[in-house]
Amino acid sequence: MIMLLGETAAAREISKCLDIRGLEFMRLQTWTEKTCLKTPSLILDASPPSSIVKFAPLRQWCEQRCIPYLRLERPETVIPDSLLIYPVGTWEEALLQLGQRVGAMHQAKRRVITIFVTTGSHQMESIVQAAFARYARLVVRVLPEGRLVQKCQDMGISPRDIVAMQGQFSKEINNALFKFYGVDILLTRDSGSAGGTDTKISAALELGIETVLVKKAKTNAGLTVNNVKELLDWVDDNIPDKR
């Protein structure tokens, strides 16, 4: 039994390929030890960068049992040299930077500052509860899943400020959305070109929008690959095809 983690486009592609290969697998969004009633033979982690901390206990659990844990780790994005981009290393630093930028903009423009959030709903509550949120309009882009939309609404985000869309998004789509919502600040995470980081930043720069970018965390994720092909090649070499 293979466990596949994540609801990303890559995870969906991997799921189809495992099906074609006739391999038994289970897709998970969260994990506890009770999940593993049957010990998996392999963990394939195609979850977004924001889930690294969430699945850290699972990596440790696998290490203790010598179960292979293969992480799809997207390469870092080459970031343009611009005064409009504020790279940070942690989520805490991102909130601090957001607070500083919102405060400065609010004082200069004397209006509510619009933040376009593309880091998902997982850590959204910390933004909603931050002191700077009183001066900000939060527009969040999440996957078009009812539970995620409801989660955002439960946190007080207006339905008109919830963009439920599935990427990847071109520069043109990002550009149109940023213009439509009158975005002042983009909050995003470096999820590589596969996650559309380059097109988001490119669109923001073209429109003169500031970007707070959460850089990739330096973690020991065990076995890693940089794209879906490498991951599937590893599976083909190590897991018997049951077709």
Helix 228-238 vs helix 9-20: crossing angle, to nearest 10: 30
* Residues with Cβ within 8 Å of residue 41, at least 6 apart in sequence: 1, 2, 67, 68, 239
CA 7 vs CA 29, 172, 196: distances in Å: 7, 24, 16
Predicted pLDDT of residue 156: 93
Predicted pLDDT of residue 219: 57
Largest CA distance in the chain: 64
What is the reported pTM? 0.73
- Please give the average pLDDT of every successive group of 10 residues along the chain, which has 243 residues: 85 91 84 68 84 78 89 82 94 96 96 95 91 96 91 94 90 97 95 81 96 79 81 87 57
Encoded tokens for 236 = 């083909």
Predicted pLDDT of residue 233: 92
